[in-house]
């Protein structure tokens, strides 16, 4: 069971972790391996950061960007293939991400895998599978027709640049 730390102790640890992250990442790694309080402070800090980032993404995403829908099939650690709506990833992505996804044929490489990591914060089913594994092996294939329809509607310049992105 996690020990309860005081706010003062948490802030002191956070300052120490921040300093180590800037000047000695190796020592930071060692501390995270050996100090339960350091692990708890980092986990709590990341949890708050994730909640804030997720809230910003949700509040700043124009609802019009969530249509038309884009879906992907995915499998994590050999699980049965599932389908997830990945439109929120498209709405939050920049042109380079979208072009990169096209270059990897809408699946099977780093960008499509990162879609599933992103969606783990917005979809409970993905979260359940993604975060139970210490090093999840992700296979993802985005529906190309839906992706291109979304880009035609929201980022048509990407399609003109490549001719068939």
Mean pLDDT score of the chain, rounded to an integer? 90
The strands making up 71-76's β-sheet, listed across from edge to edge, are 82-85, 71-76, 138-142
Distance CA 69, CA 153 (A): 11
Residue-wise DSSP of 68-130: S--EEEEEETTPPPEEEE-HHHHHH--HHHHHHHHHTTTBSSHHHHHHHHHHTTT-HHHHHHH
- Domain segments of the chain as ranges: 7-60, 65-158
Torsion region of 78: left, alpha or beta (phi above 0 gives left; psi -120 to 50 gives alpha):
left
CA distances from 165 to 5, 19, 110, 134, 162 (A): 52, 44, 18, 34, 5
Residue-wise pLDDT for 136-165, tens only, equals 899 999 999 999 999 999 999 998 765 555
CA 64, 65, 67: angle at the middle one, nearest 5?
75
């490549």: which residue's tokens? 162
Radius of gyration of the chain (CA): 19
Which residues make Cβ contacts (< 8 Å) with residue 19, sequence separation at least 6? Answer: none
pLDDT band at 2 (very low <50, low <70, confident <90, very high): low
Residue 57's pLDDT band, with cuts at 50, 70 and 90, is very high
Q: Cα separation of 113 and 136, whole Å?
A: 10
Please give the pLDDT value at position 121.
94
For residue 108, the model assigns a pLDDT of: 86
């Amino acid at each position: 069971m996690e020990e309860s730390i005081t706010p003062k102790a948490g802030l002191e640890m956070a300052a120490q972790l921040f300093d180590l992250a800037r000047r000695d990442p190796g020592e930071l790694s060692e501390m995270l391996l050996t100090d339960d309080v350091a692990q708890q402070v980092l986990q709590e800090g990341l949890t708050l950061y994730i909640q804030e980032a997720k809230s910003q993404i949700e509040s700043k995403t124009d609802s019009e960007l969530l249509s038309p829908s884009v879906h992907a099939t995915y499998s994590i650690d050999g699980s049965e293939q599932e389908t997830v709506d990945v439109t929120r990833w498209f709405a939050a992505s920049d042109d380079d991400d979208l072009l990169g996804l096209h270059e990897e044929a809408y699946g099977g490489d780093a960008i499509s895998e990162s879609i599933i990591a992103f969606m783990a914060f917005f979809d409970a089913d993905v979260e359940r599978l993604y975060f139970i594994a210490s090093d999840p092996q992700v296979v993802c294939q985005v529906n190309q027709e839906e992706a291109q329809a979304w880009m035609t509607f929201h980022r048509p310049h990407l399609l003109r640049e490549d001719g068939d992105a």
